[in-house]
Amino acid sequence: MSKTVELQIEKSRHLVEGLRKHLSGIGGGVTNDEIRQMEQALKELEAANAEVDRLRDELSPKVKQMNEVLARVKEAYADKKKTLKGYYPQERWADYGIPDKR
Q: How far apart are CA 100 and CA 55, in angstroms?
A: 40
Q: How far apart are CA 75 and CA 70, in angstroms?
A: 8
Task: Give the pLDDT confidence score for residue 101 in this predicted structure.
Answer: 66
Task: Give the pLDDT confidence score for residue 43 in this predicted structure.
Answer: 96
- Mean pLDDT by groups of 10 residues along the chain of 102 residues: 90 94 80 94 96 95 97 96 91 87 62
The CA radius of gyration of the chain, in Å to the nearest whole number, is 29
Task: Give the pLDDT confidence score for residue 30 in this predicted structure.
Answer: 87
Task: Give the pLDDT confidence score for residue 63 in this predicted structure.
Answer: 96
Asked if residues 85 and 100 have their Cβ atoms less than 8 Å apart, the reply is yes
How far is C-alpha 7 from the chain's CA centre? 18
Among candidate residues 23, 21, 90, 1, the one with its CA nearest the CA of residue 81: 90
